[in-house]
Amino acid sequence: MQAPHQKDSTVFTSGNSQAVRIPKEFQFKTKSVRIIQRGDELIIKPKYLTTAEILANLPPWTDEDSALWDKVMATIEEGRKQREPERDWAALFGTDDDLPAVSKRKPRSSTPPKPTTRTAKKRS
């Protein structure tokens, strides 16, 4: 982890608020920031728009946009209604009958295995 860059700055009054002069090398690329108080520290982070804020700022849809959207949704719905063709997996991979006899699994016995008993050997 990199050591944080530090630089001293000044605090001044702007109206009824306190302001901090941010040095050029720390300038934000956004117009808004989020200030978080953690103990006696203040953390200033750039504030980015949320998805909801971005969507709220979009221009309203035109009739042409709505018609195009309806066409796209109809195409998607039509694709869902079409059944996927059946695949002939046997033609691609063969059937169990095509497997060599050694690789076929034997069916499991329905009887449980016989219990084994071990006797402890005496140490000499």
Percentage of residues in the chain having pLDDT higher than 70: 78
Phi, psi of 69 (to 5 degrees): -60, -45
Q: Does the CA dihedral 45-46-50-51 come out positive or negative?
A: negative
Domain boundaries, given as residue ranges, for the chain: 11-48, 52-78
pLDDT of residue 25 exceeding 80: yes
Per the confidence metrics, is the pTM higher than 0.85? Answer: no
Residue pair 28/46 in contact by the 8 Å Cβ criterion: yes
Please give the pLDDT value at position 99: 65
pLDDT band at 5 (very low <50, low <70, confident <90, very high): confident
Mean pLDDT within 86-113: 69
| Topology at the third CATH level for domain 11-48 | Pemi-like Protein 1; Chain: D (2.10.260)
Identify whether the C-beta of residue 23 lies closer than 8 Å to the C-beta of residue 7.
Answer: yes
Q: Which residues lie closer than 8 Å to 35 by C-beta, 6 or more apart?
A: 42, 43, 44
pLDDT digits over 64-73, tens only? 999 999 999 9
pLDDT for 64 equals 95
